[in-house]
Amino acid sequence: MNHRSRSTVLVVAVAVGLVAVGVAAAVPGESVLVVEDIETGEVYLSVPVDDGSTVALEYTHSVEKSRVYDEYRVDGTTLVNTRMEFESYGWGLPARVNVTNVNGTLVYDPDEPITELETLSVSPGRIASHTLLVDGQRHDLVAATDASDVRLYVDRRSLINQLS
């Protein structure tokens, strides 16, 4: 093979490599729920999710000392608040909405989503014992974050991000 042929092969190989990297960067990969420190950006948890996945926070209300369950559905990169369960009314809980009493638990299950969020801020508390549930899988948010303030959001990672 002469010098010109080798140069052509090298140029073609580099071009094919660049196209492959571009395709890998553009191809959507998996979506993950990210739990990230608000101040430092440190990622504490990264959990795979799909559209329709359920993400929930469960904790003990600081004043009422009763269980609160706040549920969201993943819709693209948005968290859509779809349900709330609580055992008594207290600060921060919906007091002016129609709820159903199910065996002593007040359930707010609206026909339309309550809130759609790109980012959800949480201050995990040791007394509140915040637990994150992703498609039924439980994560101790206090232990994972050392009770640091965090933001939760859905990130769509490209194929190249998954490979790195």
Predicted pLDDT at 101: 82
Q: What pTM does this model have? A: 0.74
Predicted pLDDT at 163: 47
Predicted pLDDT at 162: 42
Structural domain range at position 113: 29-163
3-state secondary structure the chain: CCHHHHHHHHHHHHHHHHHHHHHHHHCEEEEEEEEEECCCCCEEEEEEECCCCEEEEEEECCCCCCEEEEEEEEECCEEEEEEEEECCCCCCCCCCCCCEEECCEEEECCCCCCCEECCEEECCCCCCCCEEEECCEEEEHHHHHCCCCEEEEEEEEEHHHHHC
Query: Is 134 inside a domain boundary?
Result: yes
Instruction: Categorize the per-residue pLDDT at 116 as very low, low, confident or very high, splitting at 50, 70 and 90.
Output: confident
Query: Is 18 inside a domain boundary?
Result: no
Instruction: Categorize the per-residue pLDDT at 47 as very low, low, confident or very high, splitting at 50, 70 and 90.
Output: very high
How much of the chain exceeds pLDDT 70, in percent? Answer: 73
Query: Is 20 inside a domain boundary?
Result: no
Query: Is 132 inside a domain boundary?
Result: yes
Residue 139 pLDDT > 80, yes or no? yes
Query: Is 1 inside a domain boundary?
Result: no
Average pLDDT of every residue of the chain: 81
* pLDDT tens digits, 9-33: 565 555 555 554 554 445 567 899 9
Number of structural domains, the chain? 1
Predicted pLDDT at 24: 47
Residue 148 pLDDT > 80, yes or no? yes
Q: Which of 64, 26, 32 is nearest to 45 (CA)?
A: 32
Residue 102 pLDDT > 90, yes or no? no
